[in-house]
Structure 1
Amino acid sequence: MNVPQSDSPWRIVPAGATQLPLLTELYEEAARWQASRSPVHWPLECRENWTPDVERGYVHLLEEKATGAVAGMVILYPDPEPFDRSIWPDPEASAAYLHKLIVRRTWEGQGLGELLLDWAEAECRRMGKRLLRLDCMGDNEGLNRYYPRAGFTYRGQTIGKGWKANRYEREVREHLVSSPV
């Protein structure tokens, strides 16, 4: 989805320290929705410590420009975190790693997930990265259909104790001239 920056009704902004409760709210909303659709989901109670990632500028919110309403969030790491290193066979590749892609259900079906993914890809290009990587639960049928439709290539599966993570990556495209928002 390429939306010219000036025409987009959305903006993506770094999350601030005052928004830590909002991040937990977004996460728990998404976890409850996942639990209603799939036996494999995020824990219902948020155990995340958002502060370090917020302080480093890795957590971003999708806001509606007209109202300031927050429609979603994403975390984009410029380098692999310990979990990424544990599941990717080549974590030193020129890649950024996306986590916690969340769009509130009230904005479902408007292409906002793709908007966040395109923004993350534009950020990868700005960072000089060749790849945008992410993972999802191997048993989550919806996400495992969604990411290939969004231009991601399946790169295998890592099996842990009681879980399976499917790995996906998308090459950074040069023809995306600017960030979509």
Structure 2
Amino acid sequence: MDDITRGIRIRRGGPADAPAVLDMLDSAVIWMNDRGNTEQWGTIPFSEKPGGPELVDRYLTENLPYIAEVDGTPAATLVLDSGPNPRAPIAPAKEPERYVRLLVSHRRFAGRKLGSALLAHAVDETRRAGVRLLRVDCWAGGGGELVAFYERHGFTSTESFLSGTWPGQVLAQRVA
């Protein structure tokens, strides 16, 4: 289903979107590194990272991917799943849930509120599925800026975790 909000078209994604999603991820890694953040996603572009392209392919085929387009150009993506990555140190919820596995925008579209539009779409999709819990996990380093972003979008911090030395935060939102 397509959704048009504030000039942003949100559509279901699929395998054909892999090059665009890899480009989004690569632009995010470069942007983070330019700001001194080498911890969140490392320093290697996602398209060159061992297993990076395969992970994107799995996101686009095994999960519920959504693409936000600006003037017909894929500009951001959100991937929903029915729970956290089974290999992550995060317990599944004790009820049905939707889980944000990936949210990223291409940096050339910064300031367009694409992440906000995609999170609102995730809430709508969760509601349409009859599910009442939407969760996400994110990097909790860097002064907690990313955690604050999700909190501004209606999420509440629930549990912290470490994946090696990578600090993470799980956040949840109840969907009416």
TM-score range, shorter chain: 0.7 to 0.9
Please give the residue correspondences for 1:42-121 in structure 2 after superposition, counting only pairs within 5 Å. 42-43=41-42, 44-46=44-46, 47-49=52-54, 50-56=56-62, 58-64=64-70, 67-83=71-87, 86-88=89-91, 90-121=92-123
Contact preservation (8 Å) 1:102, 1:113: yes
Mark the CA change 1:107 to 1:91 in structure 2 (over 3 Å): closer, same or farther: same
Aligned equivalents of 2:139 and 2:156: distance in 1?
A: 15
1:17-49 Cα distance to aligned partner (Å, 9 max, x none): 222222111111112212223242213332242
Please give the residue correspondences for 1:1-181 in structure 2 after superposition, counting only pairs within 5 Å. 8-37=6-35, 38-43=37-42, 44-46=44-46, 47-49=52-54, 50-56=56-62, 58-64=64-70, 67-83=71-87, 86-88=89-91, 90-140=92-142, 141-172=144-175, 174=176
Contact preservation (8 Å) 2:77, 2:104: yes
Overall identity of the aligned pairs, in %: 25
Contact preservation (8 Å) 1:62, 1:73: yes
The higher relative CO (CA closer than 8 Å, separation ≥ 6) is in 1
Per-residue deviation, 1:135: 0.9
Per-residue deviation, 1:81: 3.0
Contact preservation (8 Å) 1:72, 1:101: yes
Give the structure-2-normalised TM-score: 0.82
Mark the CA change 1:126 to 1:109 in structure 2 (over 3 Å): closer, same or farther: same
Mark the CA change 1:7 to 1:23 in structure 2 (over 3 Å): closer, same or farther: closer
Unaligned runs of 5+ in 1: 175-181
Aligned equivalents of 1:48 and 1:93: distance in 2?
A: 31
SS at match of 1:82: coil
Contact preservation (8 Å) 1:14, 1:57: no
Mark the CA change 1:162 to 1:57 in structure 2 (over 3 Å): closer, same or farther: closer
Q: Choose 115-124 or 73-82, whichever is displaced more.
A: 73-82
Per-residue deviation, 1:56: 3.4
SS at match of 1:18: helix
CA RMSD of aligned residues (A): 2.0
Per-residue deviation, 1:6: 5.9
Per-residue deviation, 1:7: 5.9
Give the structure-1-normalised TM-score: 0.80
